[in-house]
């Protein structure tokens, strides 16, 4: 029986993984459906819990891009001059490799999705459904910025690199770069690379005399060599001792955190109750393969049968999940509403310079994320303190300077769910001229008229609260909440329209087995 297109791609990819040193020990990769693509499923019981092992040499990282024979030289000069960042390097690499006729990454690239559900791929009419949300504005701005980046830098550079390689599959289009951007954001992992892997010591017996290196091999087995070299291990660690510009700033002890794609492990889908985590084995003591990343079964979850192996993408609300990954979760406990005050509006108000300085001094936040479960009990948390009860753990303890006529501590100070960093920013924004002068006078009492020292963050916050109280801040907060509701209603219409949309959504609800997890 002939294999279908998805099975054929998977078979070639599995051979590619095997030839390049990866091992599927307690799992298998299967095609799920058109919305989820491929996923990883448990196959056999593995005593040590190690399900999948992938050599770090297979990871697509900024260092690998800089070492690539085709893309590396051009990218290195731009990177050292600060023209591009590490994420751009990976996106450019993906754009070029996808269009190369003889790319050695083809078995992996063919497995990657070509369609995405994130807002960058929505039509103009579909994007209107998001009008009134923060996501709508963010998607419009991101797509505009990506188009500018493609026109100004990516297109010419990609065409130049492909011309050096020979005849590309076709001309470079904006959709190619958009695809690379979506692949990066939906699949990239933060990889804790061991320091010796990124900066290996030069061994006396080393035959290579490369002028620089990042501890990664610049070659691996391509599609053409799969049949003849199926049983060979072809990777050799490049042991040159040079450094990539800027990498030292990421050092944290013996670990260097690098963003990158790890073929195989990146097929894990998301779930709140992750069935597995991933770790890096620098010495080979856990997996038997030095410098490898492995998928490890979560200790409290039993993998039986062909249960899908999921990892957690983090505590993200539905707006963030849709923006980055193109899917949402029903009853997402991490869903939130973002309330923010636009920075540009401060520049147009009186005494804007003084207010901006005060915001900086007290580290005020102009946005606030309200999780969906935060207001389950109204504006007050579930465990509120009795009136007059002290709470040494709250920031209100800073409001106790003995200025003349000190403001009485309100009973709600330990009950409000809105973060102090956000409220102090709103107090600053709503300050009147007389209150600005009062704050200046109060701070002068603390630090001296000669400015012997700078006031602390807590002192600035306390002075502003003493001069302004919360009346103006809370009124502005109500206005921001009303504006948010108005924006959301503009996108969906009246309450009757909302009810109609919800009814339609329920009628066409996707079966659970077809939802992306």
For residue range 194-215, what is the model confidence (pLDDT) as tens digits? 888 877 653 333 334 333 333 4
Do 360 and 285 have their domain in common? no
Is residue 436 a part of any domain in this protein?
A: yes
- 112 backbone dihedrals φ, ψ, rounded to 5°: -80, 150
* Predicted pLDDT at 231: 35
The per-residue pLDDT for range 165-195, each reduced to its tens digit, is 876 667 899 999 999 999 999 999 989 888 8
Domain final residue, candidates 328, 359, 391: 328
Pairing verdict, β 189-194 and 255-260: antiparallel
Do 64 and 140 have their domain in common? yes
**Tokens of residue 382, six digits:** 């579930």
Do 341 and 445 have their domain in common? yes
* Residue 370: strand, helix, or coil: strand
At residue 82 the predicted structure's pLDDT band, cuts being 50, 70 and 90, is: confident
At residue 122 the predicted structure's pLDDT band, cuts being 50, 70 and 90, is: confident
The residues that bridge with 281 in the sheet, in sequence order, are: 292
Give the chain's domain count: 2
CB 44 within 8 A of CB 14: no
Do 109 and 173 have their domain in common? yes
The per-residue pLDDT for range 300-340, each reduced to its tens digit, is 555 555 788 888 777 777 878 888 887 877 878 777 777 88
Is residue 158 a part of any domain in this protein?
A: yes
Do 280 and 341 have their domain in common? no
**Residue written as token pair 């949402």:** 328
Query: What pTM was computed for the model?
Result: 0.68
**Tokens of residue 459, six digits:** 């002192």
Do 48 and 118 have their domain in common? yes
Is residue 89 a part of any domain in this protein?
A: yes
With CA atoms as reference, report the closest residue to 239 among 194, 280, 281, 208. Answer: 208
CB 234 within 8 A of CB 55: no
Is residue 87 a part of any domain in this protein?
A: yes
Taking the CA atoms of 100, 105, 107 and 113 in sequence, report the sign of the dihedral they define.
negative
Give the least confident one: 188-197, 271-280, 408-417: 408-417
Do 270 and 406 have their domain in common? no
Do 322 and 426 have their domain in common? no
Portion of the chain with pLDDT greater than 90, in percent: 26
Do 318 and 356 have their domain in common? no
CB 92 within 8 A of CB 157: yes
Virtual torsion, Cα 106, 107, 109, 114, nearest 10 deg? 120
* Residue 479, number of CB atoms within 10 A of its CB: 12
Task: Please check the confidence at residue 424 and state whether its pLDDT lies above 80.
Answer: yes
* Predicted pLDDT at 436: 92
Is residue 21 a part of any domain in this protein?
A: no
Mean pLDDT of 466-485: 88
**Residue written as token pair 């830098």:** 153
* Predicted pLDDT at 21: 94
Q: Tell me, what CATH number does 103's domain have?
A: 3.90.1410.10
**How far, in Å, CA of 62 to CA of 85, rounded?**
9
Do 278 and 359 have their domain in common? no
The per-residue pLDDT for range 6-41, each reduced to its tens digit, is 889 999 999 999 999 999 998 899 888 777 788 889
Task: Please check the confidence at residue 508 and state whether its pLDDT lies above 80.
Answer: no
Is residue 103 a part of any domain in this protein?
A: yes
At residue 44 the predicted structure's pLDDT band, cuts being 50, 70 and 90, is: confident
CB 75 within 8 A of CB 47: no
At residue 420 the predicted structure's pLDDT band, cuts being 50, 70 and 90, is: confident
* Predicted pLDDT at 217: 43
Is residue 211 a part of any domain in this protein?
A: no
* Predicted pLDDT at 371: 75
Domain final residue, candidates 286, 308, 328: 328
* Predicted pLDDT at 254: 76
Question: How many CA atoms are closer than 13 Å to the CA of 423, on its beta-carbon side?
Answer: 16
Is residue 229 a part of any domain in this protein?
A: no
Do 195 and 294 have their domain in common? yes
Do 107 and 173 have their domain in common? yes
* Predicted pLDDT at 265: 92
More confident: 127 or 204: 127
**Domain extent at residue 455:** 337-379+402-490
* Predicted pLDDT at 490: 66
With CA atoms as reference, report the closest residue to 280 among 215, 200, 194. Answer: 194
Long-range pairs, 330-335, Cβ under 8 A, ≥24: 330/515, 332/372, 333/272, 333/371, 333/372, 333/373, 334/371, 334/372, 335/371, 335/372
């Amino acid at each position: 029986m002939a294999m279908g297109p998805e099975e054929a791609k998977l078979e070639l990819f599995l051979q590619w993984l095997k030839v390049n040193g990866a091992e599927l020990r307690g799992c298998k990769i299967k095609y799920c459906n058109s919305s989820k693509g491929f996923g990883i499923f448990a196959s056999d019981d593995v005593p040590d819990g190690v399900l999948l092992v992938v050599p770090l040499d297979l990871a697509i990282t900024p260092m690998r891009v800089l070492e690539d024979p085709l893309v590396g030289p051009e990218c290195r000069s731009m990177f050292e001059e600060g023209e591009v960042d590490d994420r751009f390097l990976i996106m450019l690499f993906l754009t070029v490799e996808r269009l190369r006729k003889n790319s050695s990454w083809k078995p992996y690239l063919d497995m990657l999705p070509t369609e995405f559900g994130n807002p960058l791929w929505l039509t103009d009419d579909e994007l209107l459904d998001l009008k009134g949300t923060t996501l709508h504005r963010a998607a419009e701005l991101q797509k505009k910025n990506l188009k500018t980046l493609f026109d100004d830098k990516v297109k010419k550079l990609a065409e130049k690199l492909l011309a050096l390689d020979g005849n590309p599959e076709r001309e470079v289009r904006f959709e190619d770069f958009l695809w690379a951007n979506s692949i990066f954001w939906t699949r990239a992992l933060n990889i804790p690379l061991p320091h010796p892997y990124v900066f290996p010591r030069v061994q006396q017996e080393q035959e290579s005399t490369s002028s620089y290196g990042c501890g990664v091999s610049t070659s691996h087995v391509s599609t053409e060599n799969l049949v003849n070299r199926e049983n060979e291990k072809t990777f050799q660690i490049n042991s040159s001792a040079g450094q990539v510009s800027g990498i030292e700033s990421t050092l944290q002890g013996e670990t260097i955190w690098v963003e990158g794609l790890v073929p195989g492990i990146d097929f894990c889908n998301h779930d709140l109750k992750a069935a597995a985590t991933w770790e890096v084995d620098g010495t080979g003591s856990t997996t038997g393969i030095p410098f490898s990343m492995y998928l490890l079964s979560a200790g409290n979850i039993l993998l039986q049968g062909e249960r899908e192996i999921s990892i957690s993408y983090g505590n993200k609300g539905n707006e963030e999940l849709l923006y980055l990954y193109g899917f949402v979760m029903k009853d997402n406990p991490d869903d939130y509403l973002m309330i923010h005050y636009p920075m540009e509006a401060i520049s147009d108000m009186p005494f804007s310079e003084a207010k901006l300085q005060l915001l900086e001094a007290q580290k005020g936040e102009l946005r606030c994320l309200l999780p969906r479960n935060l207001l389950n009990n109204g504006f007050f948390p579930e465990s509120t303190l009795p009136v007059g009860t002290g709470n040494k753990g709250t920031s209100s303890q800073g409001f106790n300077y003995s200025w003349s006529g000190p403001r009485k501590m309100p009973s709600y100070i330990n009950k409000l769910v809105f973060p102090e960093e956000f409220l102090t920013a709103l107090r600053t924004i709503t300050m009147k001229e007389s209150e600005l002068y009062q704050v200046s006078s109060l701070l002068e009492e603390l630090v001296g008229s000669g400015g012997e020292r700078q006031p602390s963050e807590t002192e600035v916050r306390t002075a502003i609260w003493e001069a302004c109280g919360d009346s103006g801040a809370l009124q502005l907060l109500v206005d921001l909440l009303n504006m948010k509701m108005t924006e959301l209603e503009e996108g969906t219409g009246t309450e009757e329209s909302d009810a109609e949309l919800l009814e339609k959504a329920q009628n066409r609800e996707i079966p659970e087995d077809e939802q992306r997890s």
